[in-house]
Amino acid sequence: MKTRFLFPLGARYIGIILLVAGLLFNFYSRGQGNREIFVWQHFHAAGQSTLRGDGSECFDDEIQLSLVLIGLIFIASSKEKIEDEHISSLRLESLQWAMYVNYAVFFILIYTCYGLSFLAYSFYNVLTLLVFFIVRFRWKIYSLNRSLKADAA
Amino acid sequence: MKNTIRIERAIKNITQGELAELIGVSRQTINTIESNRYVPSTVLALKIARVFSKPVEEIFILDDED
């Protein structure tokens, strides 16, 4: 079966490495003390008002978000070992399910979460669609393999 | 939709894995089709019928619910 818009199987493993790297980097940055690594001195961004007083800009958070995002996209959009129409239908179904769950959570938060915490979740909401999709799709593949083993037994 | 894949496989004496390999899908897919948990596309149904050298209607039969 011809598939479009999917990365090869190996992309999943690259994705896992990027995701873990991004999360570890983020975990490191949250620690005590000055833990900035990628700092651009004399950074002059046009129209930016959030630059620090000394004109430098720390790119750690940009790099972390990029690693996590690319990692999640690679994991979510890599081919299975045998990519057939059943897998495709599971993929689409999982994506739809993830969309509903993602916005259901967001909808609940509109009424239960205010101020900065709402803003913080809105930021994570960019990534949760992919996370929900990956969890649901992997679970479906896992159940499929388990049912096959149960039938064989 | 019901199907007679299990019977046809027994006649031809091939496993789910062998049938899967012949038509280029995973064993899981054959397993879910056989147990009526997944309805295959026309292309896949025709490929399965071709393996058993039978018309597709002899392998896939419409149910009352369809």
pLDDT at A21 over 90: yes
Burial class (CB in 10 A: 0-12, 13-18, 19+), A109: middle
Considering CB atoms only, which of A80, A81, A86 is closest to B38? A86
Query: Does the pLDDT at position A49 exceed 80?
Result: no
| Stated length of chain B | 66
CATH architecture entry for B2-61: Orthogonal Bundle (1.10)
Q: Which of A2-11, A12-21, A123-132: highest mean pLDDT? A: A12-21
Give the best residue of A9, A86, A142, A151 to mutate against chain B (max B CB count within 10 A). A86
Quick one: what percent of chain B has pLDDT higher than 90?
92
Which residues of chain A are within 8 Å of residue B26 when distances are taken between CB atoms?
A: 80-82, 84, 86-87
| pLDDT value of position A53 | 66
Convert the pLDDT of each residue in A60-115 to its tens digit: 889 999 999 999 999 999 999 988 999 999 999 999 999 999 999 999 999 998 88
What average pLDDT does range A116-122 have in this prediction?
Answer: 89
| Domain positions in chain B | 2-61
pLDDT on residue A60: 86
**Residue among B40, B30, B25, B37 nearest B6 (CA):** B30
The closest of A131, A138, A137 to A102, measured between CA atoms, is A131
Q: What pTM does this model have?
A: 0.86
Share of chain A above pLDDT 70, in %: 89
Compare all CA atoms of chain B with the CA of A143 and give the residue at the minimum distance. Answer: B28
Mean pLDDT over all residues of chain A?
A: 88
Angle between helices B42-51 and B16-23 (to 10 degrees): 120
Which residues of chain B fall short of a pLDDT of 70? none
Give the model's confidence band at A150: pLDDT under 50 very low, under 70 low, under 90 confident, else very high.
confident
Instruction: Give the ipTM of the model, two decimals please.
Output: 0.86
pLDDT of residue A50: 58
The pLDDT, as a whole number, for residue A1 is 57
